[in-house]
Homo-oligomer: A and B are copies of this chain.
Amino acid sequence: MRKMDVMTVSGLLIGLILIFVAISLGGSVLGYIDAPSILITIFGSFSALVTSYSLERIKGAVKIAKVAFYVKQTNAPVIIEKFATLSIRARREGLLALEEEKEALNDPFFERGIQMVVDGMEPEVIREIMETEVFYIEDRHAEGQGVFKTWATYAPAFGMMGTLIGLVQMLRDLDDPSKIGPAMAIALLTTFYGVLLANLILLPIAAKLSLNSKAEILEKQIILEGILAIQSGINPRIIEDKLKVFLSPQEREASERAKAQKQEGGVSVNAT
């Protein structure tokens, strides 16, 4: 069901390749790999991250980070269409009939919402429960992004520390001028690693997670409004109008077109 997001992955790869090419144009790439520098920049900043969050939460964040590399399908139009079906059925057969539809939803949040309607809970209670849930989902997403953003601030700082360590070393033995250049070159490597880690990997992942989170929260919002609209018994046409305001003009047009095609198709079938 989940598809690898070619763009995210290739963005990362192309970025790395560009860096690689830029380096190799000027000489050997090997000279840019220095174990102690990697140690201090990557592992140093990571240990500051562990102090900040505990390993468990970081594991959780890394698990979430994988999400950034998969396509987040915009389900919003699908969900709205689903509500069109649900609202018509609810009108014809009553709210209890929705229980049968519940199984096919494949979304625990959606299911729980429908269940609360079937159970006959008060609309204000349903809204309160669902809004609290959406709020805390958003909160947990933000925490996941926070891990990467925090790392992205530690990485250049540890890079700078590495450079300072290297500079101090170099400055203390200025006797052999021929060593100054290479020593300083290595000292600068940690700063390079820190900036690279932050700007090519950590910040883009945080940005992608934030986008995916926003898309998911939008879906939850549509589900919340849709469920309350069905419960209140308003006209299915108005429900659809109400939910479509969440869509972008492009999505709206696409969904109109899809609907028109289906109806045309339906008519031709009838005509046969």
Q: Mark A156-174, 1 if CB is under 8 A from B, else 0.
A: 0110111011111111111
Residues facing B in A30-77 (CB within 8 A) are 31-32, 36, 39-40, 43-45, 47-57
Q: Which of A18, A36, A191 has the most CB of B within 10 A?
A: A18
Contact assessment for A5 and B54 in the assembled complex, using a CB-CB cutoff below 8 Å: yes
Contact assessment for B53 and A169 in the assembled complex, using a CB-CB cutoff below 8 Å: no
Task: Given A27-B172, A171-B181, A245-B132, verify A8-B165 contact (CB < 8 Å).
Answer: no
Say yes or no for A98: interface residue by CB 8 A criterion: no
Task: Given A49-B11, A154-B199, verify A22-B162 contact (CB < 8 Å).
Answer: yes
Say yes or no for A78: interface residue by CB 8 A criterion: no
Interface residues of A (CB under 8 A from B): 5, 7-8, 10-12, 14-15, 18-19, 21-23, 25-27, 31-32, 36, 39-40, 43-45, 47-57, 108, 112, 116, 121, 125, 128-130, 132-133, 136, 140, 143, 150, 153-154, 157-158, 160-162, 164-174, 178, 180-182, 184-185, 188-189, 191-192, 195-196, 198-200, 203-205, 207-208, 211, 238, 241-242, 245-246, 248-249
Chain B residues near A166 (CB, 8 Å)?
26
Contact assessment for A26 and B169 in the assembled complex, using a CB-CB cutoff below 8 Å: yes
Chain B residues near A55 (CB, 8 Å)?
7
Contact assessment for B125 and A10 in the assembled complex, using a CB-CB cutoff below 8 Å: no
Contact assessment for A39 and B22 in the assembled complex, using a CB-CB cutoff below 8 Å: yes
What are 16 of the A-B contact pairs (CB < 8 Å)?
A14-B50, A15-B44, A15-B47, A22-B165, A27-B169, A27-B172, A32-B165, A48-B204, A52-B203, A57-B211, A112-B241, A140-B248, A170-B181, A171-B185, A171-B188, A172-B185
Task: Given A51-B204, A52-B204, verify A18-B44 contact (CB < 8 Å).
Answer: yes
Contact assessment for A25 and B18 in the assembled complex, using a CB-CB cutoff below 8 Å: no
Chain B residues near A150 (CB, 8 Å)?
207
Closest-CB distance, A156 to chain B (whole angstroms): 9
- The residue from B161, B173, B203 contacting A196, defined by CB atoms under 8 A apart: B161
A225 to B242, CA, bound (A): 18
Residue of B nearest to A234 (CB): B125
Contact assessment for A165 and B48 in the assembled complex, using a CB-CB cutoff below 8 Å: no
Known pairs A112-B241, A157-B198, A168-B188. 12 more at Cβ < 8 A?
A: A18-B47, A26-B165, A26-B166, A51-B200, A51-B205, A121-B238, A125-B242, A161-B192, A167-B185, A169-B185, A172-B181, A174-B178
